[in-house]
Amino acid sequence: MNDNQIIQRFRKMIGAEFYWEGCRCVLVDVLVEEAELILECAGSETAIQPDQYGRPSRRSQAVRQVSIFDDQGGYSPEVMELLEMKSSPRQP
């Protein structure tokens, strides 16, 4: 699978739920230029989210950024774990 295919695959999965690192997360965005996935942790405590200038803006669920690629240019272990979970769903 090439880089564009993996990004398109994740774009189709926006809104999908994952049980990851002990919490239920929802894929809310795919940042193409940054090569990152944005996961929102449902049911977590709310956190103050900054605006684009770093000023406190609003309260929202905790968000996790997951890098799609590792330092060597391959897929990160976290991305492989998410893909594996989606192909064979399991819950805590």
Instruction: Measure the CA–CA gap between 90 and 73, rounded to whole angstroms.
Output: 28
Instruction: Measure the CA–CA gap between 83 and 33, rounded to whole angstroms.
Output: 20
β-strand partners of 56: 50
What is the value of pTM for the model shown?
0.76
Instruction: Measure the CA–CA gap between 56 and 46, rounded to whole angstroms.
Output: 13
Question: Region 64-73: what's the mean pLDDT?
Answer: 91
Instruction: Measure the CA–CA gap between 75 and 63, rounded to whole angstroms.
Output: 21
pLDDT tens figures, 36-56: 999 998 776 677 878 889 888
